[in-house]
């Protein structure tokens, strides 16, 4: 299993504060001969609909030497996990969790906006200090 991201515990705490139940830590995916591990799997009971919403969350800290290199790797990993999830758990939505600073520095810039406009990625934007989710971007 891969090492946990720097913000793993903060994102987990933020999800719990919003009423999510952590079902997998990590969420193991298996496709062919390959195993993959998404950082978290969670679900939340939607009382009004008497249904359960399921998500998978891949957490990224973007602390490498190049934000663009980190972005390219994160999006590549996201695409692989997304496509495998569509096959094995199509009811589970995948989110990329990034802190507020990364959101401003990358996703409020043209390159990030392009990814969001083209619906390449769903974001969960969190504040690591307060362990609160600031935005869900579909």
State how far the alpha carbon of 79 is from the alpha carbons of 4, 44, 71, 96, in Å: 19, 24, 12, 11
Q: Is position 111 within any domain?
A: yes
pLDDT tens by residue, the chain, 138 residues: 677 889 999 999 999 999 999 999 999 999 999 999 999 999 988 765 567 889 999 999 999 999 999 999 999 999 999 999 999 999 999 999 999 999 999 999 999 999 999 999 999 999 999 999 999 998
Q: Is position 114 within any domain?
A: yes
**Half-sphere exposure of residue 16: CA atoms within 13 angstroms, side-chain side:** 13
The DSSP call for residue 130 is: T
Whole-number mean pLDDT of the chain?
Answer: 93
The domain total for the chain is 1
Q: Is position 117 within any domain?
A: yes
Q: Is position 1 within any domain?
A: no
The DSSP call for residue 65 is: S
Domain CATH for 71: 3.40.1350.10
pTM over 0.85: yes
CA 58/CA 41 separation, integer angstroms: 9
CB 65 within 8 A of CB 103: no
State how far the alpha carbon of 50 is from the alpha carbons of 21, 23, 47, 136, in Å: 16, 18, 5, 22
CB 98 within 8 A of CB 115: no
CA 125/CA 88 separation, integer angstroms: 26
Sheet holding 51-59, edge to edge: 21-24, 40-46, 51-59, 92-99, 123-127, 132-137
Q: Is position 2 within any domain?
A: no
Strand, helix or coil at 95? strand
Q: Is position 55 within any domain?
A: yes
For 18-58, how does the pLDDT look when each residue is reduced to its tens digit (9 = 90+)?
999 999 999 999 999 999 999 999 998 876 556 788 999 99
> Residue 39: which domain range?
8-137
């Amino acid at each position: 299993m891969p090492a946990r991201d720097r913000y793993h515990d903060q994102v987990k705490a933020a999800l719990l504060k919003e009423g999510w139940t952590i079902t997998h830590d990590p969420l193991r995916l298996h496709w062919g001969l390959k195993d993959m591990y998404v950082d978290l799997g969670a679900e939340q009971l939607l009382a009004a609909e008497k249904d359960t919403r399921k998500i998978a969350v891949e957490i990224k800290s973007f602390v490498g030497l190049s934000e663009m290199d980190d972005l390219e790797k994160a999006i590549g990993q996201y695409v692989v996990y997304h496509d495998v999830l569509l096959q094995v758990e199509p009811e589970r939505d995948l989110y990329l969790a990034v802190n507020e600073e990364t959101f401003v520095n990358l996703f409020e810039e043209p390159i990030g906006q392009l990814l969001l406009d083209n619906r390449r990625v769903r974001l969960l934007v969190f504040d690591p200090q307060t362990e609160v989710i600031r935005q869900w971007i579909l």
